[in-house]
Chain A
Amino acid sequence: MRARIRDAICGAGVMLVVTAAGGPVAAQTKAPIRIGEINSYSGLGTVYTFPYREGLLMAAKEINDAGGVLGRPIEFIFRDDKLKPDEAVKAARELVGQEKVDFLAGCISSGVGLAISAYAKEAKVLYIATHCQTSRLTWDDGHKYVAHTTNNVNQYVRALAKKAATMPYKKWAHISPDYEYGHNVWDEFSAYLKQLKPDVEVVQQNWPKLGETDHSSYVTALLQSGADAFLSSVWGAQEIAFVKQARPFGLFEKVHYFSASVGNPDELDPLGKEAPVGAITPGFAWYDDGMQKRHPKLAEWVKKYEARAKKEPTLGASWGYASAYIIAEAIKRAKSADTDKVITAFSEGFEMEFPWGKVIMRGCDQQAIPPQWIGVVRMNTKGKPVLADVEEVHGKDVIKSCDEVAKLRAAAAEKKK
C-alpha cells in the first residue's frame, strides 16, 4: 500500500514537471535549463500570478517547440512564496541547493523581490525579477545578480504624470496606501508633474493603511480638499472598495480621478457598471482599435493566449510571456547558461520585439523598458467598462537615465555606511 502511494506521488511529481516544461518537448534529449520560479500561488496574489504563469508557460512551450535554447529545453520549477519574503528566501535556498536550478525568477510583491535579490547577491545566483514593480530593485538596491524583465513604477507613473501635465489641473490631492509602493508612486508622480508643470500645487494628502476596507473619511476629505484632480495608488481589492464607496458621494464628477491601476481588468471587470467613467489610468488595452492598428501582431497573440488560457489576457499575462522570452534571449546571447556569461549578456543590453511593441533591456541597470499605455475609462457598447482613447508613450522617453540611476545607487550605498 505504502509503495503504491509513493508511486502515485512520484507519478504526480513527474506530471507536474512535464506540465511545467510546457508539455512534451520535441525530440530534445539534452538536459533542460532549469529556472526556479518563486511567486504567490495561493491567496490574494493569485489574481495576478495565475495569468502571469499562463503567459510564462505559453512562451516556454513556444520556445521548446521551436527547439529550445541552445538546443536545450527550458523548464520552470514553481514555488509558492505565500507573499512572505522569508518564505521566498527559503524557497530560493531549496531551489538552488537541492533542485540545482540555473537561475531564479519570479515575484509579485516588491518586498519578496527585494529579499530574493539580496539572497541572489550573497549566493551569486542570477535572479530575474518579473512581476513586481518597485524601482529600488534595479536602482537604489541594484547589483549585477538581479535583472528586471518588466516595468518599474518610475515608467508608468511618469507616463501618467506626463498625461496629467497636459491637462489644466493645478491643485492636486492623492490617496495612496501607506507603505513602500504607495510612497514610491506618489513621490515619482508629484516630482515629475512639478518638473513638467512647475505651477502645480499639492493641496491635500491621504495615506490609508494597505488593505483598508472603509474609505469614507478619505472620500469626504478629498471632496473638501478643493483639488481639481487626485491620484490614487491604492490597488486591487482595496481600490475596488474605494471606488464603490466614493461613487455615491459623487467624488468622480467633482475631482478628476487619476489612478495607477484602475484600468486593469482585475479591477474594471468586478466594478462593472459602477466603474469610474472618465478616470485616466494606465492599462494593457489589447482590445483597443488604435492599439491593434499600431501593433498588427497583437490580435493573433491574444487569440493564441485565449485558446490556451480560456480567458482574456491581462498585463500580467503579457509580462509572463515576455519574461520567458527575455530570459531565453539572454541565454542565447551568452551562448551558455553559465551565470556570469548570462549576466554579461544582460549588462550589454538588448532589444526585443513583442506583439505589443519593443522592449528594451537596458544594460546599465539590467532594467526592462517597455511601451506604456494611458487611457480613459469608458463603457463599451455592451455596457462593459474598458480603456478608450489609448495613448502610447514608450518607457524610454520618460524613464530616469543611467546617470540618474548611478546617482541613486551611490546615494543608497552612502546611506548603508
Chain B
Amino acid sequence: MSGLSVGMFLFLVSVGMSLIFGVTRIVNLAHGSFYMVGAYLMVTLVEVLPDRPWAFWLALVAAPLGVAVLGGAIEVGLLRLIYHRDPLMQLILTFGLILVISTLVLLVWGPDNKSVSRPDALAGSVLIFGQRFPSYYLLVLGLAPVVAVGLWLIFYRTRWGMLIRAATVDREMLGALGVNVAALYTQVFAFGSWLAGLGGALAAPTVAVALGMDGDVLTTAFVVVVIGGLGSFAGSFISALLVGLLQSFGILVFPAVSIVLLFAIMAVVLIVRPWGLLGRPEE
C-alpha cells in the first residue's frame, strides 16, 4: 500500500517532467527544484493562513499555482532564449537553475528544517485488511488518479490538449498552421511546474521540508521518466507505480541491493527499449 502512495507522488512529479520534455524537448533538471519550492510555499502558506482546517486545503491549491507562475516566468525569461541552441546548453541552463533556486530558497526561507502538520482529520490511520494505513496516504492515493484522469481528459478531449499532442509530433508544422507555439510552450512549462509544485505541496506533511529535497526527487523522477518513456504520460504512470512498489518491496526482500535494483531496471529498459516502456522511438 505504501509503495502505491510513493508511486503516486512520483507520478505527479515525473509526469510534469515528461510533459515538458515531450513538448519543448528540454530535459528540465530544475524540476526537482520546483518540487522543493512547492513544499516551501506550502509551509509558508500554512504558517501565514489562520490555524483553521480549511487553511491546509487552500494552501494545497495555492502553493502549486505559485510554482506554476515561477515556471512560466522562467520559461519566458530564460528558456525561450535557448530553444534553438545545442541541447547541451539547455542542460547547463537548467542545471544552473538548480543552484540558483537552491541558494534563493536558503536566502528566503533560511537554513532550518521545516514541516507542515497534517490536518487533524488525516493525522491518524485506518485499518485496511487488518493493516494500519496512514490516512493521509489515502488522500494521495485518491488524488493522483484524479490528476491522471484529468490529464487524459485534457490531452484527448480538449483543443489545448490536441495542440500539445500536435506540438510533440511536429512543432514547425503547428507554427505554420498559425498556432502561437511560443505561448503554448509557456503554458506547458507552467503546467508541468504546477504538477511538480503539487507533488511538493502534497509531500510536505510526510517529510521534512529541507534543502536537498530537490536532488533526491530529481534522480528518482528522472529514472521514472526514462523507464516510462520520455514524453509518454501513461508510461510515467505505470513506471511511477513500478518504481514506488519496487522501492517498498525491494527494501523488504533485498535490502542491500534495493538502490541498485532501480538503476538496473532502468539499464535493462534502456538496452531493450531505449525509448522507454511506452515511449516512441525517434525517427
Contact = CB atoms under 8 A, between A and B. Distances in A.
Interface string A206-249: 01110101101110010000000000000011101100110111
B252 interface: yes
Interface stretch (B80-88, B145-153, B208-216): B208-216
Nearest to A267: B113
A267 B132 CA distance: 25
Contacts of A237: 113, 207-208, 210, 212-213
A44 interface: yes
A269 B112 contact: yes
Contacts of A250: 125, 132
B115 A240 contact: yes
B76 interface: no
Contacts of A44: 210-212
Contact of B206 (A211, A221, A241, A271): A241
A271 B210 CA distance: 13
Given A47-B210, A211-B216, A244-B207, A236 B113 contact: yes
A46 interface: yes
A198 interface: no
Main secondary structure of the interface of A (DSSP, over half): helix
Nearest to B253: A217
B205 interface: yes
Given A248-B123, A248-B135, A271 B2 contact: no
A214 B206 CA distance: 9
A238 B206 CA distance: 11
A247 B111 CA distance: 25
A207 to B, nearest CB: 6
Nearest to B250: A217
B143 interface: no
Contact of A272 (B111, B115, B251): B115
Interface residues of B, number: 40
A346 B255 CA distance: 44
Contacts of A336: none
How big is chain A's contact interface, by range? 35 or more
Nearest to A238: B208
A342 to B, nearest CB: 32
Interface in A34-76: 42-44, 46-47, 49-50
A384 to B, nearest CB: 13
A42 B103 contact: yes
Given A236-B113, A270-B112, A270-B115, A248 B136 contact: yes
A81 B128 CA distance: 48
B255 A207 contact: yes
A42 B255 contact: no
B206 A245 contact: yes
A245 B134 contact: yes
Nearest to B123: A248
Contact of B115 (A46, A216, A221, A244): A244
Contacts of A208: 251
B6 interface: yes
B165 interface: no
B92 interface: no
Given A214-B248, A248-B136, A47 B2 contact: no
B25 interface: no
A213 B216 contact: yes
Given A216-B248, A237-B213, A248-B136, A270 B111 contact: no
B259 A209 contact: yes
Contact of A244 (B103, B206, B259): B206
Given A207-B255, A244-B115, A270-B208, A249 B6 contact: no
Question: Which of B102, B111, B124 has the most chain A CB atoms inside 10 A of its CB?
Answer: B111
A245 B115 CA distance: 13
A329 interface: no
Nearest to A47: B111
Contact of B102 (A43, A214, A245, A248): A43
A58 to B, nearest CB: 17
B62 to A, nearest CB: 21
B106 interface: yes
Contacts of B259: 209
Given A208-B251, A249-B132, A216 B207 contact: no
B112 A216 contact: no
Nearest to B249: A217
A213 B207 contact: yes
A99 B110 CA distance: 30
Interface in A6-52: 42-44, 46-47, 49-50
Which of B113, B117, B216 neighbours the largest number of chain A CB atoms within 10 Å of its CB?
A: B113
Contact of B211 (A46, A213, A269, A272): A46
B216 to A, nearest CB: 6
A273 interface: yes
Interface string B152-163: 000000000000
28 contacts: A42-B103, A43-B106, A43-B211, A47-B113, A50-B110, A207-B255, A208-B251, A214-B248, A216-B248, A236-B113, A237-B113, A237-B210, A238-B208, A241-B206, A244-B118, A244-B205, A244-B207, A245-B134, A245-B206, A248-B125, A248-B132, A248-B134, A248-B136, A266-B113, A269-B112, A270-B209, A272-B115, A274-B117
* CB-CB nearest 3 A-B residue pairs: A216-B2, A46-B111, A44-B212
Interface of A: 42-44, 46-47, 49-50, 207-209, 211, 213-214, 216-218, 221, 236-238, 240-241, 244-245, 247-250, 266-267, 269-274
Given A237-B212, A248-B132, 15 more contacts: A47-B113, A209-B259, A213-B217, A236-B210, A238-B208, A241-B208, A244-B206, A244-B207, A248-B125, A248-B134, A248-B136, A267-B113, A270-B112, A270-B114, A272-B115
